[in-house]
Structures are given as C-alpha cells and as structure tokens.
C-alpha cells in the first residue's frame, strides 16, 4: 500500500469525521465542553476582582475551614501552651501567634505563589498589602523588632516564629490535617458537580523536582550508589531519603531527583484526586491508585449512575488503567498510539490504520490496530453506534455497533468480552476462565484514535490538560523548578495546600454560577 493511498484514506477519514461531528449523538456519554474556563486560573480570579488577601480570608471563613481546621488548630494551640507531658502551663509568655494564624500565613503564601516564607513575610509587610494584613488580622503590632531579624511589619509572624511552630507540630500532623481539609472540600465540590463538565476527566502527571539528593539505585545490582558523605557539606549526601531518581532528560528540565505528582482533573481543571510518588515509579501504577482512590472516596458524593470519560496520553495505555477506570464507572479515552506530531507517532498511527485483525464470529468486519471497525464488504464507511452504561455494581460498560447502510451487514462488539489472539491476528471471545487482564478492553470501546467523539474529549485535554501543569508551575510554582523539599510529606503538604486553594476557588465559582442562573430565572 503506497503513501498516496494512505493520504487519500486520511482525507476521506477527515471528511467522515466532519460529517459525523455534526450528527454525533452522545447518548449516555457526557457532551464535550467548549469555552469552559479553569475555575482555578488567575484570569478567573481577576475577573472576580479578588486580591490574595480576599481569597485567603474567604477560605479561612469557609464552613469547611471552620469545621475541619479550627478544632484541630485549637488543640494544637493548647498543646503549645503546655509542657511536653501536658500536665502544666509552660512558664513565660504564651506564643504570640496561634496555630490558625500560622496556617493562614502558609495558605497566603501559596495563594500568592511564593516558594519561601521569607518572601511571604516581606510582601505582607510591605506598603501595598495593608489591606491584606487587615483582612488576615496581622495589622496590629505585636512583637518588638529583634536585632538581626529582617525588618518586617511587627504584626506579621516572623520566620523564626514560623520555624518554631513548624518544628513544634511537625510535617506529619500538618500534612494529615491539610489532607482532611482537602478531602472535605472535594466532597463538597462533588456535591455541586452535576453537569457534563464534571463528568469529563483528564489525567497527566508532572515532575516535582528537588534540590537535594534522593537515593540513586543501580538497576543491575540494586545498590544505592550515592550514599556516603558529601565532601562539600560534610553531611550525608542523600538529603531526600524517600525521594526517587531518574536520569534527567529534555535538557535537564525533566527527571532528576524528586517526585511525580499525578492529578485527576475534571473539565474545569479541578484536581478531584491525586497521588505523589517517587519520580521513578511507573505513572501507570500511580494512575491506577489515583483512579481507585477517587472511586472509593469521592465517587459516592457525585451524582451516581452516570458514565464518565477520562482522557490521558498513550503513556498510560495499559490494561490495569483501563480496568481501574471501568471499576470506577469511567470509560477510558486512551490510545496505544500518541496523537503527537512527531514523525514516529504519525508513522505508528498509519501502521495501526493499515492493520487488519479478524473478529471471531463475523467475516463482514475487521478491526484495524486502533480497534476501529473496517467493513469488508467494500461499501464504504459504516454507521457507528456508541453505547455506554453503568452496571448494577457501578462498573462502566461500553459497546460499539457498526452497520453498513448499503448492504446491511452489522457487528456488535462489547468491550471486555474479547481478547487478542495471534496467527492470524484477531480478537476472539474471552472465556470466564481467562484472567481479567487478558481482556482487550479497547475492542468495543468506541472512543478510538480516529473517532470524532474521542477527538473532542482529547482536544480538551490538550488545551486544558497540558496548560494545567503549566498553570500549576506558573501560578503556584509547585513544579516549575527544583524545590527545597526534604521529604515526600513536604511535597504532599504543599500539594494539599495548593489543591485546597484550587478546590475552594472552584466551589466559590460553582456557587457563583448557580447564583447567576438563579438571577436569570428570576428575571
Ligand atoms: Zn456493505
């Protein structure tokens, strides 16, 4: 088959896609959304004319903060006032700032996108932020300025006070508290997520790189090769013991020492679940955990019994990711071939176009490598029907039906009922004795590489998903350069605070939208 023929095929396929997109019937599938903005973007906030102080104060006043954070923060305040065994009050003056005030500072720091506490104190001490100081209750002078400390406003907790607080409470407890806060926010957000935008998910990992050294393990011997003493500092060379390592790539902008953050985003860019793992862990495995944790913790709070769609790049194409999706009531929009423009991807896509696999039980149709129906009658493009539903146990099912409108041949493929077979290449009935992982879930999933509906979900992933990790880097600086994290706990704490801000903004945005709809109805 020459390349001319392939170009011709591609053209006819594109014409077909255009014709189809005008009469796509989404049925049980969510409708792809155009013109949706991230509820988490700076632009959205600017539109609402909110300063960093406004956002921080609004989160502090929220019922979620009052109900989840405040009771624990009050316990911590009591603990800090007492001696270690708790039997009596510490002598001397009580701490000048409460744990709640320290956590408000930590929140403000992430809202303003600062990577250091010092930058936060300096900004909040400045002339331009007196309104923020008042909003956050730091506008009254409390401490005398000590010699040797940078000059800051004497009502803003100093770096020394903050580091004392951090070491008193510890990363573990703080991370757990922020994690509980985030979970509560996500549940409340889920209860507001009753539209198609919240049924379309994207999953795309990003590297959170650290300045220190994680253990580097020799893949052949399994031994750590970089432990010992750093001659420059005289301290252990490994400073991030629970971090991971992969050799740097893309001119050193990816890889190295650190962690991988895998967020599950809805179509508004809201991170509804996530996981942080060592940078060398397989993204597929992390994805399985993220999807499963969403299903266990969040799914019961969403409108039930609706089919959701998750798009991810070809790197996540694996039977285990597909099974995790189905178990969570999600149809995966996931392809073995990348949609990227690299010549290699294009060549591979063309190869998959040309493949022909038999389908046990019919001679009228075959599958190409993308698991798209190819009619053998030669009449042309068949009519495709896409079905999806949620079964009794909450799993997602999907079915692909092809009909030749000219000669009337039909075929129905139900995803999960077929497995791959070789000699000749084909899909055959999967018996109940075959292991679950042997099912070819892609066969019978209508969201294939060239499917116009799949393209619409995927387009959203490229314009939003790729942009999302960039926004995370620009706005919150979580993943833009190597950070000074010393442990996974610290990365998780940072992520929990940043994601709490995003979900809080999303809740406010959804409530605002609901209010606008109410007003329109009343008018
Ligand atoms: Zn036909």
Going by pLDDT thresholds of 50, 70 and 90, the confidence category of residue 47 is low
Separation of CA 197 and ligand 1 centre (Å) = 37
Separation of CA 19 and ligand 1 centre (Å) = 19
Kind plus residue range of the DSSP H or E element containing 512 = helix 488-522
Separation of CA 425 and ligand 1 centre (Å) = 23
Amino acid 35: pLDDT: 58
Q: What is the pLDDT of residues 290-324, one digit of tens each?
A: 999 999 999 999 988 899 999 998 999 999 999 99
Separation of CA 29 and ligand 1 centre (Å) = 28
Residue with tokens 């573990």: 172
Strands in 314-395 per DSSP E: 330-333, 357-359, 362-367, 373-375, 383-390
CA distance 32 to 34: 7
Q: Does the structure show a pLDDT above 50 at 80?
A: yes
Overall average pLDDT of the 496-517 stretch: 89
Separation of CA 404 and ligand 1 centre (Å) = 5
Overall average pLDDT of the 2-31 stretch: 55
SS (H, E, C) 184-248: HHHHHHHHCCCCHHHHEEEECCEEEEECCCCCCECCCCCCECCCCEECCCCEECCCCCCCEEEEE
Separation of CA 377 and ligand 1 centre (Å) = 5
Overall average pLDDT of the 494-519 stretch: 88
Q: What is the pLDDT of residues 411-433, one digit of tens each?
A: 999 999 999 999 899 999 999 89
Q: What is the pLDDT of residues 375-408, one digit of tens each?
A: 998 887 788 899 999 999 999 999 999 998 888 8
Separation of CA 405 and ligand 1 centre (Å) = 7
Overall average pLDDT of the 493-521 stretch: 88
Separation of CA 384 and ligand 1 centre (Å) = 13
Going by pLDDT thresholds of 50, 70 and 90, the confidence category of residue 13 is very low
Domains in the chain with CATH codes: 62-169 (no CATH), 174-335+452-522 (3.30.420.10), 352-448 (no CATH)
Separation of CA 374 and ligand 1 centre (Å) = 10
Amino acid 95: pLDDT: 85
Separation of CA 365 and ligand 1 centre (Å) = 9
């Amino acid at each position: 088959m020459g390349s001319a023929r392939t170009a011709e095929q591609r053209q006819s396929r594109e014409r077909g896609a255009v014709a189809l997109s005008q009469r796509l019937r989404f049925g049980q599938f969510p409708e792809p959304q155009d013109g949706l903005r991230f509820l988490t973007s700076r632009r959205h906030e600017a539109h609402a004319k909110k300063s960093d102080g406004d956002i921080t104060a609004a989160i502090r006043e929220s019922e979620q903060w009052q109900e989840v954070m405040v009771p624990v923060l009050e316990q911590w305040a009591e603990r800090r006032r007492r001696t270690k065994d708790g039997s009596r009050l510490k002598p001397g003056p009580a701490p000048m700032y409460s744990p709640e005030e320290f956590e408000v500072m930590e929140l403000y720091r992430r809202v303003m996108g600062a990577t250091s506490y010092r930058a936060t104190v300096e900004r909040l001490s400045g002339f331009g932020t007196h309104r923020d100081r008042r909003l956050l209750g730091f506008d009254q002078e409390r401490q005398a300025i000590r010699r040797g400390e940078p000059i800051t406003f004497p009502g803003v907790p100093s770096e020394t006070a903050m580091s004392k607080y951090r070491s008193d409470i510890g990363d573990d407890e703080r991370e757990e508290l922020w994690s509980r806060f985030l979970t509560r926010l996500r549940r409340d957000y889920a209860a507001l997520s009753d539209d198609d935008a919240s049924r379309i998910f994207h999953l795309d990992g990003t590297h959170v790189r650290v300045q220190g050294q994680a253990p580097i393990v020799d893949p052949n011997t399994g031994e750590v090769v970089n432990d010992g003493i750093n001659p420059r500092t005289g301290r252990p060379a490994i400073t991030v013991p629970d971090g991971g390592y992969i050799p740097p790539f893309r001119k050193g902008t990816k890889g190295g020492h650190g962690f991988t953050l895998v967020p599950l985003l809805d179509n508004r860019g809201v991170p509804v679940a996530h996981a942080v793992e060592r940078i060398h862990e397989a993204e597929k495995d992390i994805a399985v955990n993220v999807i499963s944790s969403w299903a266990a913790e969040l799914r019961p709070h969403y409108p039930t019994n609706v089919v959701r769609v998750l798009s991810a790049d070809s790197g996540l194409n694996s039977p285990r990711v597909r099974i995790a999706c189905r178990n969570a009531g999600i149809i995966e929009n996931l392809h073995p071939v990348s949609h990227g423009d690299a010549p290699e991807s294009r060549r591979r896509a063309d190869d998959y176009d040309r493949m022909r696999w038999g389908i046990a039980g019919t001679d009228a149709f075959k599958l190409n490598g993308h698991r798209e129906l190819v009619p053998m009658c030669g009449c042309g493009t068949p009519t495709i029907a896409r079905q999806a539903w949620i079964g009794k146990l909450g799993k997602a099912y999907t079915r692909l039906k092809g009909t030749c409108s000219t000669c009337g041949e039909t075929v129905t493929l139900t995803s999960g009922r077929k497995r791959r077979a070789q000699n000749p290449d084909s899909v055959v009935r999967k018996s109940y004795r075959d292991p679950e992982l042997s099912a070819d879930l892609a066969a019978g999933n209508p969201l294939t590489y060239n499917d116009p509906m799949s393209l619409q979900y995927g387009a959203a992933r490229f314009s939003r998903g790729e942009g999302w990790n960039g926004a995370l880097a620009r706005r919150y600086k979580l993943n833009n350069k190597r950070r000074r994290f010393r442990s996974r706990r610290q990365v998780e704490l940072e992520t929990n605070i940043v994601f709490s801000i995003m979900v809080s903004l999303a809740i406010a945005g959804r409530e605002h939208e609901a209010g606008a709809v109410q007003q329109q109805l009343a008018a």
